[in-house]
Amino acid sequence: MTDAALGRVPREFRRSYLGEGSTLLSWLTTTDHKRIAILYAITITVFFFIGGAAIGIVRLELMTPQADVVSADTYNRLFTMHGVIMVWFFLVPSIPTTFGNFLLPLMIGAPDMAFPRLNLLSWYVALLAGVIAIVAIVTGVGDTGWTFYTPLSTEYATGHVAWTALAIFVMGFSSIATGINFIATTHMLRAPGMTWFRLPLFVWAMYAVSIVMVLATPVLAITLLLVMVERVLGLPIFESTLGGDPLLFQHLFWFYSHPAVYIMILPAMGVASEVIPCFARRRVFGYAFMVYAMIAIAGIGFMVWGHHMFVSGQSNFANLVFSFLSFVVAVPSAIKVFNWTATLYRGQITFEAAMLYALGFVGLFALGGVTGLMLACVPIDIHVTDTYFVVAHFHYIMVGGTVSAFFAGLHYWWPKITGRLYPESWARFAAILMFFGFNFTFFPQFILGYLGMPRRYQVYPPEFQAYHVMSSMGASVLAAAYLLPLGYLMWSLFWGRKAGDNPWGATGLEWQTSSPPPKRNFLATPRVMAGPYEYHPAEESPEAAGAPMSREPHRSQGGGA
Amino acid sequence: MSDAALREPWEDLHRQREAARLGMWVFLATEVLFFGGLFLGYSAMRVAHPAAFAEAARETRFWFGSANLALLMTSSATMTVAVRGARAGFAGMARWCLLMTALIGIGFIAVKGVEYHLDLDDGLWPGPGFALGMAPGQIFWGFYWVMTGIHAVHLTIGIVLVLRLALLSWRGLIGLRDNPQMPVVGLYWHFVDIVWMCLYPLLYLVGRT
């Protein structure tokens, strides 16, 4: 955008979204998707550290084979709290409600979400859910684990199971509202020329995840409602003494909770697909296949829930089918890993912090995915069911995968969101520390699980102690790595260098507006002439199009030229 | 008046209406899955205990359920007339039809309330004093209360939405013709109606074949 064009736009339209009012009220009543993203970011950060604190105590307890820090009851509550908070109050909303909210309209060239007031409402609903969750935690959270299995949850558990379930039930409405908003926005508000196959992969990821949110969350809602009804009103639904079926609960629960894994990982895939091409200066490899893979994951993800129930007594035929489908869903995931890797091939890679996080994501996600295939084999699964092997597997996906990608996105878009650059060396240090801290924490758990250490146990045989101590020490490294960004990112808000509109020389509409963007995102509706990730050939690169020459222009590929 | 309905970030009302309808359709997909969980649970339990379900279902009040079916079908007709009428410019007729739709909805809730009262008098709330005594029959009645209860909550929300539109329009605060809320509320109302059409055979006809 030229200065001459800017000169005609009134000043109040050019002011950044952060300057639109600084009172608390102006934030709490905003319908600007960018401000709502910030509100969400603050909220989920609080929950991340609550959930982290809970597991910190658990890891401390597990340093010794005996029970010595907390009582058995408290132990059960702590891991329940960790699971519930991390899954529903951090991982599920993490990337969609923050980066999704902030970037989706920017990336498609829209002034805001399709339903801005619904967007704000979704945050208040999330806040209400959070308050209920905190009340439940303070007064004694349920001790059922995050899975709420019946009849434990309906009859035997002692904590406030119904309140915990209610918090998740309410949170579901927030997810659904976000999903509806994303779908309608993507359909109805794309800028002229922004065809479906010119959408950045992050937008596709948000679209795919919205479909899963909208179709899976209501099933969890009804399932938890039935648990609450049975526990509070005494209406028998799953009650086995009357002929009810606890397995029915498991089917309903996993019908949501397996797709929920894809709610957590699809956005992470979207982030990696933005960051990796930018720092490799390469067009993403196989764009169309990346899109189809995400849609396939969203679709097939609905048909694999039975692999959580291999030892529940369901028929061998069902086991076989679910096992097969679980292998099938790995194919599109593998396509994505291969494509990210192929994107790097002959790229001019630089290792900014965002790229380090994204590369860490690819590696850890691959390891989590491959162990997932091991678990999809019925015989191996029977051996390691409910052991630390499973715990390690899903933490590789959710923490190694999603949280790494969250930090990749945070560093990549931090200049756009705040207008400031973060301190690069500190950020690289934190990224590397996080990678090692993570592996230090969770790799021993693979071994622990394979040797037979069951999950959710406070007291264990002494021969497992070495692994548990390793894991706990890794967890403290990981905690330090999570606290570091909190520090230097806050620092950069005040003392960071001004970022400029496009510090990474990235393509994508979000980089064509100012940093931080004005309230209505673009001073004039952008027109899109080409697909995403135009990092080469040189004449199509952002540098050639007039972006500042902050980086080496791309050299032609091959032939030593 | 039509401009009053136009909201950020939309530039024209037609597109805003389209987006609102799309949003509502997606929400209804959510609702289908929400009730789908209930229907799945009901079906699984009925397959497991067919005789007990048939026997327990004979205790539901056929005429109350049927009357309510008739009421809701009628209300869907008045709702359609309201939406189409508003679009065609018959604001007065649209308003009256909205009001009628809400009143019929309230009528449904009233009938349901009387029915609940009689059910409770007959000891049909599952638990220690359950009238039928049969074990799996309690599960049928568990589903009865949950399903009809959730449906009643949905209908109550619908009544509030319809009444709100009627009152705002009467006070001249909104126009109905181009208002995106009209087709959206209409879709929601029909959906609640359709849910009852599915609940009716499951709860009232199962024991009577």
The C-alpha atoms of residue B138 and residue A556 are separated, in whole angstroms, by 74
Higher pLDDT: B208 or B76? It is: B76
Which residue, among B150, B174, B148, has the nearest Cα to B161 in the 3D structure? B174
pLDDT value of position A539: 53
CB contact under 8 A, A110 and B9: yes
Structure-block tokens of residue A157: 């558990």
The reply to whether B50 touches chain A by the CB within 8 Å rule is: no
Q: Distance (Å, rounded) from C-alpha A381 to C-alpha A377?
A: 6
Q: Is A219 on the interface with B (CB under 8 A)?
A: yes
Residues in chain A within 8 Å Cβ distance of B150: 225
Contact state of A222 with B31 under an 8 Å Cβ cutoff: no
Question: What confidence score (pLDDT) does residue A222 get?
Answer: 97
Tell if the CB–CB gap between B33 and A218 is shorter than 8 Å: yes
Amino acid A538: pLDDT: 52
- To the nearest whole angstrom, how far is the Cα of A229 from the nearest Cα of chain B? 8
Chain A, 113 to 142: residues with Cβ < 8 Å from chain B are: 113-118
Give strand pairing partners of A141.
Answer: A160
Nearest to A234 among B9, B52, B126 (CB): B126
Of A180, A215, A235, the CB nearest to B142: A235
- Separation CA B97–CA A149 (nearest Å): 47
Mean pLDDT of B125-152: 91
B56 CA to chain A: closest CA distance, Å?
13
Please name the residues between 36 and 75 in chain A that touch chain B, using a CB distance below 8 Å. Answer: none
Sign (positive or negative) of CA dihedral B119, B120, B126, B128: negative
3-state secondary structure of B189: helix
Q: What is the pLDDT of residue B2?
A: 45
* pLDDT tens across the length of chain A (561 residues): 444 445 566 776 778 898 888 899 999 999 999 999 999 999 999 999 999 999 999 999 999 999 999 999 999 999 999 999 999 999 999 999 999 999 999 999 999 999 999 999 999 999 999 999 999 988 887 788 999 999 999 888 888 899 999 999 999 999 999 999 999 999 999 999 999 999 999 999 999 999 999 999 999 999 999 999 999 999 999 988 898 999 999 999 999 999 999 999 999 999 999 999 999 988 899 999 999 999 999 999 999 999 999 999 899 999 999 999 999 999 999 999 999 999 998 788 999 999 999 999 999 999 999 999 999 999 999 999 999 999 999 999 999 999 999 999 999 999 999 999 999 999 999 999 999 999 999 999 999 999 999 999 999 999 999 999 999 999 999 999 999 999 999 999 999 999 999 999 999 999 999 989 999 999 999 999 888 998 876 554 555 555 555 555 555 554 443
Give the chain A residue nearest B143 (alpha carbons): A237
Q: What was the ipTM of the complex prediction?
A: 0.94
Tokens (6 digits) for A209: 């995840």
Q: CB contact, 8 Å: B55 with chain A?
A: no
Q: Are A510 and A528 in contact (CB under 8 A)?
A: no
Q: Say yes or no for a CB contact (<8 Å) between A242 and B135.
A: yes
Contacts of A118 in chain B (CB under 8 A): 23
Residue B43 C-alpha, separation from nearest chain A C-alpha, in angstroms: 11
- Looking at beta carbons, which residues of chain A come within 8 Å of B18? 188
Q: How far apart are the first and last CA of chain B?
A: 54
Mean pLDDT for B23-52 is 96
Chain B residue whose CA is closest to A177: B27
**A247 contact B CB<8A:** no
Counting every residue, how long is chain B? 209
**Count of beta carbons in the 10 Å neighbourhood of residue A189:** 21
Q: In the structure, what pLDDT confidence band is assigned to residue B29 with cuts at 50, 70 and 90?
A: very high
Q: Do B29 and A214 touch (CB under 8 A)?
A: yes
For residue A16, how many other CB atoms are within 10 A of its CB? Answer: 16
**DSSP symbols for A87-114:** IIIIIHHHHIIIIIHHHHHHHHT-SS-S
* CB contact (8 A) between residue A221 and residue B34: yes
Q: What band does B9 get if pLDDT is binned at 50, 70 and 90?
A: confident
Which pLDDT score is estimated for A561? 37
State the nearest Cα–Cα gap between A150 and chain B, in angstroms: 14
Phi, psi of A559 (to 5 degrees): 65, 15
CA atoms A299, A257, A486, A39: torsion sign:
positive
Peptide bond between residue A151 and the one before it cis (omega within 30 degrees of 0): yes
Interface probe for A, chosen from B33, B39, B187 (most Cβ of A below 10 Å), is: B33
Residue B30 forms contact with A (CB below 8 Å): yes
* The pair of three-digit structure tokens given for residue A456, joined into one six-digit string: 């959710």
B145 vs A contacts (CB less than 8 Å): 233, 235
Which of B15, B30, B127 shows the shortest C-beta gap to A176? B30
* B126 reaches A (C-beta below 8 A): yes
Judged by CB atoms closer than 8 Å, whether chains meet at A234 and B127 is answered as yes
Residue A355 burial class via C-beta count within 10 angstroms: exposed 0-12, middle 13-18, buried 19 and up: buried
With beta carbons under 8 A apart, name residues in chain A contacting B30. Answer: 176, 180, 214-215, 217-218
Count CB-CB contacts under 10 A for residue B133. Answer: 9
Q: Please report, rounded to a whole number, the percentage of residues in chain B having pLDDT higher than 70.
A: 97
Give the total residue count for chain A: 561
* Dihedral sign from CA coordinates of A480, A482, A488, A493: negative
pLDDT for residue A224: 96
Distance of CA A413 to CAs A22, A49, A109, A407, Å? 22, 22, 16, 10
CB nearest to A236's CB, from B18, B26, B139:
B139
8 Å CB contact of A237 and B36:
no
C-alpha span between B126 and B112 (Å, rounded): 18
B41 touches chain A (CB under 8 A): yes
User: Are B158 and B109 within 8 A, CB to CB?
Assistant: no
